[in-house]
A and B are shown apart, each in its own frame.
Chain A
């Protein structure tokens, strides 16, 4: 009999520190779906901020650490498209560890794609009777191809939508600009503060004009940015990571 696959839960550093409830929801959700999940202790930043700032070569240490922590698992799952993309595409040269790196890169998945592509979840039983706006993170969308981007002339698909619209009562909102960037962009949020905030305001306004109850997404970095603006503006919209919605709904 085939051994039950063992999933290593990868929780990005800022999720660990600021959004533990999302990490818990991810863990509980996977467990509810019958997965054997472990969270290897001692996780650090995957190195993405440094790499995107132009210092990929300095992420050797964090990458080797990552490999060491996760090599034993059958799958690695994270509630973040952005960090998964970094591991998949932007590990630095790791002399002597190339095979391990490729192994890691093949078995790492963002949460929603793990649900739709590996677990083949089709009929989630649950309810979430709210109007939901979904923010596609660019790294998830155009990096991991979690949905068809609006630029391409290919058949439409959206893995998050596929999951969410299964839930009873959930009203999926089509935005005016379906997948424009929110302006977070890592260090961009600081180095290009004015632009970053303007992009965030514009993205938020699109959701608000469609009167969403909940603004969700697969990347907390985008949601942190959008929520930060919404709070400063005194907007009442609720922010939830997609893992929280799914975990709550299929209770």
Chain B
């Protein structure tokens, strides 16, 4: 007998009382979604920028390696996408659009359709995500309602920059992934 059968058979052999799967109520978040989202991002050590602020910021930097997957900000790109994600190692900035954001916790959803390389938001040194205010939902229940039965090979919530507190619980931003996260709220 294969291990698969062995495992499944031993589960089948256990007397179990059937417990029903509960319905999940439609929990809502009270308050102004934009304000809540902004404070969530800030608490997660990200930064919120308007379009103008973003343009000023990027002008103040001296990045040589920028990839932009955003139609609206395509002009900032300094290079095209390489075939192999390993070549992204020196990438300084990635600009990506997200599908929607979650006000309660600052999480933003992207899937393969926003990610020509799945490694992109991780390997880049700095990350900018573009989100439209109208694409805010209140909490994770609404988030999964919104994702629905979409079929993407990979999907991802990003809520802040890469961080760790593994050394004496001191928070350090930029463990392995992006050292900063800026959200441009349109």
Consider the complex of A and B and state whether they touch directly, i.e. have CB atoms less than 8 Å apart: no
Query: A residues bordering B, Cβ < 8 Å?
Result: none
